[in-house]
Amino acid sequence: DGGITQSPKYLFRKEGQNVTLSCEQNLNHDAMYWYRQDPGQGLRLIYYSQIVNDFQKGDIAEGYSVSREKKESFPLTVTSAQKNPTAFYLCASSLRTLSNEQFFGPGTRLTVL
């Protein structure tokens, strides 16, 4: 089955620790995205990548880092510099077409203890 997977589903982290969230897709999509969603709020773009080995900051990139070494993978690292990391993180992918329908993973809920 084609799709996009995220792991883990739940993640707990102590303050001051870096943590990496996994995102993998087998849809052969060029573009991949990371969003953050807080209760009652919409999705806010953290980073996006339109092609392998290239990525751009979104609206809230501070305290986060990404890499895009393979087309299928776009991991997100939440660093200790992120002041309020507790949130629901969503990864998505899309073809690089004008319609740009995005396919989302199931999400990772990160809680900082």
Positions in the binding site for another protein (CB under 8 A): 31, 33, 35, 40-45, 48, 50, 56, 58, 88, 90, 92, 94, 96, 98-107, 109
CB 53 to another protein: min, Å:
17
Phi-psi map region of 10: left, alpha, beta (phi>0 left; psi -120 to 50 alpha): beta
Q: In sequence order, which residues have a C-beta less than 8 Å from that of residue 23 and are 6 or more positions away?
A: 4, 5, 6, 32, 34, 73, 74, 75, 76, 91, 105
Cβ closer to another protein: 8 or 106?
106
CB 80 to another protein: min, Å:
26
CB 12 to another protein: min, Å:
16
Cβ closer to another protein: 92 or 112?
92
